[in-house]
Amino acid sequence: MPPFRVLVVDDDPDILTILNDNLILDGYEALTAATGKEALARFEEAQPDVLVLDLMLPDMDGLQVCRSIRRASQVPIILLTAKDGVSDKVLGLESGADDYLVKPFDYLELAARIKARLRRGGAYRKLSAVTRVGAWELLPQRREVAVAGRTVRLTKKEFD
């Protein structure tokens, strides 16, 4: 089975590097973005299984990114941010996030939260093997269809 995809969005290049390297070591496919616009584009193209999102981005608020993604997907979203006030946490969770982790953080805790979200993500992602029929491949874990190795873009309803 292909590895789970984790998209990390943060404007701090050190955090992106550390998380990218650790996620790869843990067997994930790690994707990164440094801005909100880049995050939305990467999300659309890669359809990650989990999103780790900073709230303070240079071009747009992380809450805007969260709300935009939540309108289109039920992917688990973990906010990873320096904002530690109760009202910040409440606003983040009410904006569609599933979890909230305050910086500085320990990678082991983030990794455990990612695993927990993937375990509980049954409604979002059913784990099963790739189904192949001739040149067709059905990848339910990524909600993708490929024909002769090329991904076919489908809406959620078309895939269902």
- Of 10, 12, 7, 63, the C-alpha closest to 31 is 7
pLDDT of residue 126: 41
pTM score over 0.85: no
Mind listing the pLDDT tens digit for each residue in 110-123?
A: 999 999 999 876 43
pLDDT in the model for residue 120: 79
User: Per-residue confidence at 141, pLDDT binned at 50, 70, 90?
Assistant: low
d(C-alpha 59, C-alpha 102), whole Å: 21
For the chain, the average pLDDT equals 88
Percent of the chain topping pLDDT 70: 91
User: What region does 27 belong to: left with phi over 0, alpha with psi -120 to 50, or beta?
Assistant: left
Mean local confidence (pLDDT), 147-160: 82
Query: For residue 120, how many C-alpha atoms fall within 13 Å in the half-sphere facing its CB?
Result: 12
DSSP 106: -
pLDDT digits (tens, 9 = 90+) for 27-71: 999 999 999 999 999 999 999 999 999 999 999 999 999 999 999
Task: Give CA–CA dist 149/135, Å, rounded.
Answer: 8
Structure-token pair, residue 138: 């059905």
Backbone dihedral region for residue 74 (phi beyond 0: left; psi -120 to 50: alpha; all else: beta):
alpha
